[in-house]
């Protein structure tokens, strides 16, 4: 039995909404390759659970110290720091159970997807990006350095979602490489749009505070390139993502639309 308060804390963040972009990407890849998306549901849930853990921990006072997430008080503001940390821990560990207990996957698929998720989220992936992002506060970064940080912090889990969808759909090694490059470009585009919205957005629409990058002394794409330059870089990466999709002999219209969504989203 999960303790009641811990269960409420987990549910609070999982049910808070959000874009669900990562699970949508995974299922969209499977459908593009003609596979039944139902086979990927548990893996999609695993990635979303892991993503939600990262948001709970990101919001903690020792990290980004945010009070609002998805338009609601952050987890630690409602349940306290200790329970929020444990809720994140629970979601992280639960994510691998979703994959390993999935009867729709064979042993090889479970191993490949679980290993991919572990590497994407771990100390050389998302967690590395989070650590480097914190250490870079107040520093003047180059565009390449900024891109490398966000490729890990944001991009790795997006790449995991896309590549996992390819693995479960039986994509070839060549196709997986194109999918990975597609995801890399939309991951960087996603972060650029985040940086732009941190300047041009409003808290009610975003569901989180605006101007936090400036207050935390973080280097952003608009700070480096100017707002117009950041938008040009955004469009460049989306175009590059679509170029990778054009190499695939599959129906990729939804994946193209998801790349366009990166540009048009306002939260």
What pLDDT score does 210 carry? 59
pLDDT digits 0-9 by tens, 146-176: 999 999 999 999 999 999 999 999 999 999 9
pLDDT digits 0-9 by tens, 97-110: 999 999 999 999 99
Return the minimum-mean-pLDDT range out of 7-16, 199-208, 245-254: 199-208
Query: Which residues lie below 8 Å from residue 107, measured CB to CB, with a gap of 6+?
Result: none
pLDDT digits 0-9 by tens, 112-121: 999 999 999 9
What pLDDT score does 207 carry? 58
What pLDDT score does 213 carry? 63
| Residue entry with tokens 């049910």 | 15
pLDDT digits 0-9 by tens, 30-72: 999 999 999 999 999 999 999 999 999 999 999 999 999 988 9
pLDDT digits 0-9 by tens, 21-32: 999 999 999 999
Mean pLDDT of the chain: 93
pLDDT interval class at 248 (50, 70, 90) = very high
Residue 208 has pLDDT above 60, yes or no: no
SS (H, E, C) the chain: CCCHHHHHHHHHHHCCCCCCHHHHHHHHHHHHCCCCHHHHHHHHHHHHHHHHHHHHHHCCCCCCCCCEECCEECHHHHHCHHHHHHHHHHHHHHHHHHHHCCCCCCHHHHHHHHHHHHHHHCCCCHHHHHHHHHHCCCCCCCHHHHHHHHHHHHHHHHHHHHHHHHHHCCCCHHHHHHHHHHHHHHHHHHHHHHHHHHHHCCHHHHCCCCCHHHHCCCCCHHHHHHHHHHHHHHHHHHHHHHHHHCCCCCCCHHHHHHHHHHHHCCC
What pLDDT score does 139 carry? 85
The domain 4-264 belongs to what CATH superfamily? Farnesyl Diphosphate Synthase (1.10.600.10)
């Amino acid at each position: 039995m999960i303790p009641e308060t811990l269960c409420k804390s987990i549910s609070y963040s999982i049910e808070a909404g959000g874009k669900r972009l990562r699970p949508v990407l995974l299922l969209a890849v499977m459908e593009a390759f003609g596979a039944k998306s139902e086979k990927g549901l548990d893996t999609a849930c695993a990635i979303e659970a892991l993503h939600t853990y990262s948001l709970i921990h990101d919001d903690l006072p020792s990290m980004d110290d945010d009070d609002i997430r998805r338009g609601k008080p952050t987890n630690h503001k409602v349940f306290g720091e200790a329970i929020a940390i444990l809720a994140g821990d629970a979601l992280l560990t639960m994510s691998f159970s979703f994959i390993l207990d999935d009867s729709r996957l064979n042993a090889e698929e479970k191993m490949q997807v679980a290993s991919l998720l572990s590497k994407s989220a771990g100390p050389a992936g998302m967690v590395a990006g989070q650590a480097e992002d914190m250490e870079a506060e107040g520093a003047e970064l180059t565009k390449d350095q900024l891109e490398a940080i966000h490729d890990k912090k944001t991009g790795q889990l997006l790449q995991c979602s896309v590549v996992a969808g390819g693995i479960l759909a039986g994509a070839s090694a060549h196709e997986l490489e194109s999918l990975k490059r597609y995801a890399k470009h939309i991951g960087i585009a996603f972060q650029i749009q985040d940086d732009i919205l941190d300047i041009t957005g409003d808290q009610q629409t975003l569901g989180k505070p605006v101007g936090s990058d400036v207050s935390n002394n973080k280097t952003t794409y608009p700070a480096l390139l100017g707002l117009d330059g950041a938008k040009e870089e955004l469009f460049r990466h989306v175009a590059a993502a679509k170029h990778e999709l054009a190499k695939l002999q599959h129906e990729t219209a939804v994946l193209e639309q998801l790349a366009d969504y990166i540009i048009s989203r306002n939260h």
